[in-house]
């Protein structure tokens, strides 16, 4: 089995390397894990990326923010249905609609009604090639000032409206309740129990030598993104090794410190259709019967120079991690690999 999934992982990496400057693919099937790289890390060294190469993981960060919420809820530090306003500074104005306040549950399931981006940010700023971090000016003061002038697009809890702003505010509020910064919150709540030593917001000197360089859609080097006070929406960096540990915890329930939080994060569901829904932080769907009706729980991510995907199926014990250092999406080959692993384990 290990040889088989190694071949599948390498084939996927090679396919992705046709569009990515460099890529790492991890395949998990039961107790077997295979990690393969292709292409180049970019930068001065330019070696082939591997299990320990650091990538920006973009919106996969949102699953960490939501799991931190679940852990704090399991511990009684917060409740899922606490209003966001209670985690923000006194006097912070939070919009409401239809007599309903935005809760932490709404933020983690993208049902808050908040817009995708903070007030004053335009989507085209995210799509402009070579743009320095468009979130760099999103300090807490700027976010809260804009939030006070924001109108909700839907009544909280009513429908899914994907929101980087909402996820960022969740991370900001949870860190404030914990009395830490966002990076320390994630380290203490998630990374430490899973021995994920390379998952962080900041890149220190020890990690910098293993960091891939980001590239835009034309394969040109592009500056890193850091997201300022919106860190909870997409600021984490990580490696395939760390994310495999993260996926395996999702598959086996995790260590005692995280088991209740993982259970809670998947217990919460907001249905988008009979076949698709959102957990706390994770997207999920069940494939059509012609594709085996298999479950896929996943999240992808993208920054100015990186693309990522993490997906798994607890029913077959399979999972996939894909990290690329180019703006092009890795989703289609990642989903394809996950389907192949699921079929092999069925």
CATH top class, domain 2-345: alpha beta
Q: Is the pLDDT confidence value at 59 over 60?
A: yes
- Assigned token pair, 25: 């693919």
pLDDT at 289: 87
Closest residue by Cα to residue 196 from 333, 63, 31, 30? 63
In this structure, is the dihedral angle defined by the CA atoms of residues 254, 72, 166 and 214, taken in order, positive or negative?
negative
| Residue at token pair 């004053």 | 120
Report field, pTM of the whole predicted structure over 0.85: yes
Residue pLDDT, tens place only, 151-181: 999 999 999 999 999 999 999 999 999 999 9
Q: Domain residues of the chain, as ranges?
A: 2-345
- Render 259-276 in DSSP notation, one character per residue: HHHHHHHHH--EEEETTE
Q: Give residue-wise pLDDT tens across range 319-333.
A: 999 999 999 999 999
pLDDT band for position 291 (cuts 50, 70, 90): confident
pLDDT digits (tens, 9 = 90+) for 96-131: 999 999 999 999 999 999 999 998 886 556 656 556
Please report the DSSP string for 148-173 in residue order: HT---SS-TTSS----HHHHHHHHHH
């Amino acid at each position: 089995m290990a040889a088989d999934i190694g071949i599948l992982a390498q084939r996927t990496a090679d396919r992705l390397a046709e569009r990515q400057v460099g890529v790492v693919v991890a395949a998990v099937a039961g107790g077997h894990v295979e990690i393969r790289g292709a292409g180049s890390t970019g930068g001065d060294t330019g070696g082939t990326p591997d299990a320990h190469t650091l990538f920006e993981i973009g919106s996969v960060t949102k699953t960490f923010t939501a799991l931190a919420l679940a852990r704090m809820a399991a511990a009684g530090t917060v409740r899922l249905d606490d209003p966001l306003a209670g985690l923000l500074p006194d006097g912070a104005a939070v919009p409401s609609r239809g007599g309903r306040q935005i809760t932490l549950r709404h933020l983690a399931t993208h049902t808050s009604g908040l817009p995708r981006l903070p007030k004053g940010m335009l989507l085209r700023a995210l799509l402009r090639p070579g743009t320095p971090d468009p979130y760099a000016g999103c300090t807490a003061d700027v976010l809260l000032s804009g939030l006070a002038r924001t109108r909700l697009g839907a009544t909280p809890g009513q429908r899914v409206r994907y929101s980087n702003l909402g996820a960022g505010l969740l991370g900001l509020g949870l860190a404030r309740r914990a009395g830490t910064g966002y990076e320390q919150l994630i380290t203490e709540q998630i990374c430490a129990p899973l021995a994920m030593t390379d998952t962080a917001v900041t890149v220190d000197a020890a990690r910098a030598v293993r960091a891939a360089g980001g590239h835009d859609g034309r394969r040109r080097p592009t500056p890193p993104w850091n997201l300022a006070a919106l860190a909870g929406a997409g600021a984490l960096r990580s490696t395939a090794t760390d994310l495999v540990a993260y996926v395996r915890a999702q598959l086996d329930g995790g260590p005692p410190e995280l088991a209740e939080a993982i259970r809670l994060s998947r217990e919460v569901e907001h249905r988008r259709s009979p076949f698709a829904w959102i957990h706390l932080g994770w997207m999920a769907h069940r494939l059509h019967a012609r594709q085996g009706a298999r479950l896929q729980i996943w999240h992808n991510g993208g920054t100015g120079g990186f693309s990522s995907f993490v997906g798994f199926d607890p029913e077959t014990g399979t999972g996939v991690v894909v990290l690329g250092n180019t703006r092009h999406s890795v989703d289609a080959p990642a989903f394809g690999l996950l389907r192949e692993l699921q079929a092999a384990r069925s």
